[in-house]
Amino acid sequence: MDDVVVIGGGIIGTSTAYFLAKEGRKVKVIERDPTYKNASFPLSLGGFRRQFFQKENILLGKFAREFILNISETLKTKKNPSPTASMVANGYLLMFGPEHAEEQYKALENHKACDAGTKNIKGTELTKYFPYINSDGIETATFTDNKTEGWIDPFMFHAALKSKAIELGAEFIKGEVKSLNEINAKTIVSAAGCWTKELLKDIPVVPQKHTVFRVKCPKHIPEMPLTGDLTTGVYWRPEGKEYLAGSPISVFDANDLEPAWNDFEELVWPALAKRIPAFEELKLTGGWAGYYDCNKLDNNAVVGKHPKYKNVYMASGFTGRGLMQAPGIGRALTELITTGSYQSIDISAFSVERVLNSEVRHEPYVL
Ligand SMILES: Cc1cc2nc3c(=O)[nH]c(=O)nc-3n(C[C@H](O)[C@H](O)[C@H](O)COP(=O)(O)OP(=O)(O)OC[C@H]3O[C@@H](n4cnc5c(N)ncnc54)[C@H](O)[C@@H]3O)c2cc1C
């Protein structure tokens, strides 16, 4: 009998393997596609932030930054002596119209309670801080300028975690698990991302296709934060000398990962040009689509022991924030498995029971 089997070697499975191996557990990770062609994490924007509504999401975002900041030491291995996640700590800027302002003021109380270090300004003050932005229709905006939010290279981060997990004794195996009954282990962790339902039919996590565009603009604004315009749902950030911009339109039950190219001209470009006049001159240079692991109940993660099994734990449903939550979730699951309860950040609000009982606890800030 194996000690721990993790199903899915994406960012959540690999982080969990790392934290469990650090505690001396013998971990086997089973991954059906070690190239990760369709896995969510390499197709993500790499963003990490603390600007959420729910306190647990704020605290997990804070831990992500702390963890990533230290990986040159903590994830150092013989094979990878200088691990990096290529962090760009430009911050986040989220802008809200009058229809979302009240909700954001409530969220700010949670930011304060969690010591998130965010700053809030009136829409009319935006150009003082971000002179390239047109503030029309923005009631309030929140941002950080203290290097606590930004983005990373998801693949490099995954590679660093994997290398360390392996050095600590974890084993990564190519294989597809068709049913949990196939596994003979003391502890099973399902980290199957948006495919969780294939193994756990009662979990309402489904693939939700999102498109990201790559664009070139003659005006380069390298200091720009990852910016979300909640009046349109469009978000963007610099990527080298170009920019990445996400479409707010998503599709459930998509058969393929072909980007929704029409969204660019019809929706994304007009929204970008309205908010940043320099973006009127844009050239589309590429794009891709990937799946969010969407928790259809309330956009929150589903993490913990599955009550219908003796030895099955799971983590999924991150709905656009699984990369940044991976360090906190790997640590939390390890605490739960090894001690029976959460020791650092209490994420019992994400329990499987809550989701099975359809107790909604909505996280509104999905980008
Ligand atoms: C366009 C886009 C932008 C995003 N932007 C961000 C962002 O800025 N910040 C952020 O934090 N998050 C972001 N995300 C979300 C993030 O990528 C996901 O939440 C995260 O990758 C989920 O991690 P995971 O390990 O659960 O899933 P995955 O990364 O999908 O990994 C799951 C793995 O499990 C394997 N697997 C599944 N079933 C089986 C099975 N039965 N047997 C064996 N292997 C199996 C799969 O092959 C896969 O490799 C974004 C996602 C997309 C698509």
Gap from CA of 67 to ligand 1 centroid (Å): 19
CA dist 188 to 17, 192, 204, Å? 11, 12, 19
pLDDT for the residue numbered 367: 84
pLDDT for the residue numbered 214: 98
pLDDT for the residue numbered 42: 98
**Residue type for 365, please?**
Y
pLDDT for the residue numbered 362: 84
293 lines ligand 1 (CB under 6 A): yes
177 lines ligand 1 (CB under 6 A): yes
pLDDT for the residue numbered 245: 98
pLDDT in tens, the chain (367 residues): 999 999 999 999 999 999 999 999 999 999 999 999 999 999 999 999 999 999 999 999 999 999 999 999 999 999 999 999 999 999 999 999 999 999 999 999 999 999 999 999 999 999 999 999 999 999 999 999 999 999 999 999 999 999 999 999 999 999 999 999 999 999 999 999 999 999 999 999 999 999 999 999 999 999 999 999 999 999 999 999 999 999 999 999 898 999 999 999 999 999 999 999 999 999 999 999 999 999 999 999 999 999 999 999 999 999 999 999 999 999 999 999 999 999 999 999 999 999 999 999 888 888 8
193 lines ligand 1 (CB under 6 A): yes
pLDDT for the residue numbered 364: 85
pLDDT for the residue numbered 363: 83
132 lines ligand 1 (CB under 6 A): no
**Residue 322 CA, closest ligand 1 atom number:** 19
* Contact yes or no for 98/140 (Cβ under 8 A): no
Q: Look at ligand 1, atom 38, and give the residue with the nearest C-alpha.
A: 192
CA distance 87 to 76: 16
Q: Are β-strands 242-252 and 234-239 bridged in parallel, bridged antiparallel, or unpaired?
A: antiparallel
Q: Look at ligand 1, atom 16, and give the residue with the nearest C-alpha.
A: 322
**Residue 39 CA, closest ligand 1 atom number:** 30
pLDDT for the residue numbered 186: 98
pLDDT for the residue numbered 277: 97
Gap from CA of 154 to ligand 1 centroid (Å): 10
